A = this chain, B = another copy of it.
Amino acid sequence: MADKKMVEAITSMEEDFAQWYTDVVKKAELIDYTSVKGCMVIKPAGYAIWELIQKQLDERFKETGVENVYLPMFIPESLLEKEKDHVEGFAPEVAWVTHGGLQPLQERLCVRPTSETLFCDFYKNDIHSYRDLPKVYNQWCSVVRWEKETRPFLRSREFLWQEGHTAHATAEEAEERTIQMLNLYAKFCEEVLAIPVIKGQKTEKEKFAGAVATYTIEALMHDGKALQSGTSHNFGDGFAKAFDIQFADKDNTLKHVYQTSWGMTTRLIGAIIMVHGDNEGLVLPPRVAPIQVCILPIQQKKEGVLDKAYELKKTLESKFRVKVDDTDKTPGFKFAEAEMRGYPIRVEIGPRDLEAGKCVLCRRDTREKIEIALEDIEQEVGALLDKIQAEMLERARKHREDNTFTAKTMQEFEEHFANQNGFVKAMWCGDRACEDQIKEKLGVTSRCMPFEQEKLADTCVCCKKPASKMVYWGRAY
């Protein structure tokens, strides 16, 4: 059915998942490589997904009182250095600007890898009284981290993201906002991206540089590897003390604020690809599909076919994102291209359908074909998009459940990861030493201590001392 030349170019995911991924991002025209090492061009088909993510995430932010701002992209070195853990975590991977125009700078500036320090510098001037709190600000921007190995969307030297930065009068309110945003992220992933996630807390080893606590949502990719998909950090008053951000409280005493930050990035596009994609290419959840319905006229030169295709587009486009593929490519090529680009529904309409007053809806996710009456198309497409969205989430959830295991002994644990990926739940004593040992022996990291704890055993899988937490472990992107 599909055009050979197009499909042959994709490696199958069973053969080489990494190559399959690279093939899909290129053939679905999501990105292009550039002369700038480690940086990519996000092409229209990729950027349109990001725009849909932005729009829907931003709406959800604003419902919780978030306001958008924009801070400079440069951080003076002295500012980056103010919080010790933070600078240690980020200094090795920032890009440094040393010259402005023809002159060397008096102080070098790094290109922001994240903006905690800038927000602190801003809040220090902007917050005076309890009346100024809370501050619940966010910015959409790009950040730079000088990574050695890069992969499109998953790890690149520059990427797009949003970073929320808040300041509160009390520790409780900061913790509440941290959890509120993590829950918002989890709901967004499930409802919009059709990606189920595990919510939990990072261990001390894995937490953000400068945070008191880092919370995370972790998703499982088709190859059984984990992808950290969003994080939310509670900073306590550590940054506030380092930057001297104080406010006069109701009782007229000066207090330090409590802060949080939280972010999601273009890596979500990588997650969509690796959770939903198949050997024909991309499979987009309807809510982030830039084209939800692609109308494919069959024998388009026959009288009435193209006209009907345009008419259907007109009927559908007030409610859905629709296009007609009226190019002069062969039908086989058009099918293959529609599949590669992951359009959730393909509508096939030819001369015989026209006569019978029917058309065929083809689901991208299951490749099922459904014949419907032309007059019902608006209703049928709406219902089918909802169904696809819901079933994609359920399939992803089932895949994750089928690939979540438990290990009660180190032997079980080692044997599992010697043979496969997936999440493994195991008990842990809370000691860094065991975490390091597990990483060294098995090549896996602690993904999170999930909010939904289970007591699988009484003792740590590694050292056999009393266990304090159940942890999800996995190989991660």
Q: Which residues of A contact B (CB under 8 A)?
A: 32, 34-36, 39-44, 47-48, 50-51, 67-76, 79, 92-102, 109, 111, 118, 121-122, 125-126, 137, 141-142, 144, 146, 157-158, 160
Indicate if the CB atoms of B70 and A34 lie closer than 8 Å.
no
Given contacts A34-B122, A98-B99, contact A41 B158 (CB under 8 A): no
Q: Which residues of B contact A34 (CB under 8 A)?
A: 71-72, 118, 121-122
What's the nearest-Cβ distance from chain B to residue A429, in Å?
Answer: 35
Q: Which residues of B contact A160 (CB under 8 A)?
A: 70
The 5 closest A-B pairs by CB, nearest first: A39-B72, A44-B67, A100-B146, A96-B99, A42-B70
Chain B CB count within 10 A is highest, among A35, A39, A157, A158, for A35
Indicate if the CB atoms of A72 and B41 lie closer than 8 Å.
yes
Q: Which residues of B contact A40 (CB under 8 A)?
A: 72
Indicate if the CB atoms of B69 and A41 lie closer than 8 Å.
yes
Given contacts A41-B122, A68-B44, A101-B93, contact A109 B36 (CB under 8 A): yes
What's the nearest-Cβ distance from chain B to residue A465, in Å?
Answer: 38
Determine the distance from Cα of A100 to Cα of B147 in the docked complex, in whole angstroms.
9
What's the nearest-Cβ distance from chain B to residue A74, in Å?
Answer: 5
Indicate if the CB atoms of A35 and B121 lie closer than 8 Å.
yes
What's the nearest-Cβ distance from chain B to residue A38, in Å?
Answer: 9
Indicate if the CB atoms of A41 and B96 lie closer than 8 Å.
no
Q: Which residues of B contact A95 (CB under 8 A)?
A: 74, 97, 99-101, 109
What's the nearest-Cβ distance from chain B to residue A394, in Å?
Answer: 32
What's the nearest-Cβ distance from chain B to residue A12, in Å?
Answer: 26
A29: nearest chain-B partner, CB-CB: B126
Q: Which residues of B contact A102 (CB under 8 A)?
A: 92
Contact partner of A72 (CB less than 8 A), chosen from B68, B71, B99, B158, is B158
Given contacts A96-B98, A96-B99, contact A47 B69 (CB under 8 A): yes
Determine the distance from Cα of A95 to Cα of B105 in the docked complex, in whole angstroms.
10
A141: nearest chain-B partner, CB-CB: B142
Determine the distance from Cα of A237 to Cα of B35 in the docked complex, in whole angstroms.
22
Indicate if the CB atoms of A76 and B144 lie closer than 8 Å.
no
What's the nearest-Cβ distance from chain B to residue A35, in Å?
Answer: 5
Copies of this protein in the assembly total: 2
Determine the distance from Cα of A51 to Cα of B142 in the docked complex, in whole angstroms.
17
What's the nearest-Cβ distance from chain B to residue A355, in Å?
Answer: 33
Indicate if the CB atoms of A74 and B36 lie closer than 8 Å.
yes
Indicate if the CB atoms of A32 and B100 lie closer than 8 Å.
no
What's the nearest-Cβ distance from chain B to residue A113, in Å?
Answer: 10
What's the nearest-Cβ distance from chain B to residue A464, in Å?
Answer: 40
Indicate if the CB atoms of B93 and A96 lie closer than 8 Å.
no
What's the nearest-Cβ distance from chain B to residue A173, in Å?
Answer: 19
Q: Which residues of B contact A141 (CB under 8 A)?
A: 142
Q: Which residues of B contact A111 (CB under 8 A)?
A: 73, 97, 111
Contact partner of A76 (CB less than 8 A), chosen from B35, B43, B67, B70, is B35
Contact partner of A94 (CB less than 8 A), chosen from B32, B94, B98, B101, is B101
Indicate if the CB atoms of B98 and A98 lie closer than 8 Å.
yes
Indicate if the CB atoms of B96 and A92 lie closer than 8 Å.
no
What's the nearest-Cβ distance from chain B to residue A430, in Å?
Answer: 32
Indicate if the CB atoms of B122 and A32 lie closer than 8 Å.
yes
A43: nearest chain-B partner, CB-CB: B69
What's the nearest-Cβ distance from chain B to residue A129, in Å?
Answer: 13
Given contacts A34-B122, A44-B137, A79-B35, contact A146 B70 (CB under 8 A): no
A66: nearest chain-B partner, CB-CB: B44
Determine the distance from Cα of A40 to Cα of B460 in the docked complex, in whole angstroms.
51
Indicate if the CB atoms of B158 and A74 lie closer than 8 Å.
yes
Given contacts A100-B146, A111-B97, contact A126 B32 (CB under 8 A): yes
Q: A40-B72, A95-B100 are in contact. List 15 more A-B contacts (CB 8 A).
A: A32-B122, A32-B126, A34-B72, A41-B69, A41-B71, A43-B69, A47-B68, A47-B70, A70-B160, A73-B144, A92-B101, A93-B101, A95-B97, A96-B100, A100-B157
Indicate if the CB atoms of B72 and A125 lie closer than 8 Å.
no
Listed by A's residue number, 24 A-B pairs whose Cβ atoms lie within 8 Å are: A35-B76, A35-B79, A36-B109, A39-B73, A39-B74, A41-B72, A43-B69, A44-B68, A44-B69, A47-B67, A47-B70, A48-B68, A50-B70, A51-B68, A70-B160, A72-B158, A73-B73, A73-B142, A73-B144, A96-B98, A97-B97, A101-B146, A111-B111, A141-B142
A39: nearest chain-B partner, CB-CB: B72
Determine the distance from Cα of A93 to Cα of B121 in the docked complex, in whole angstroms.
26
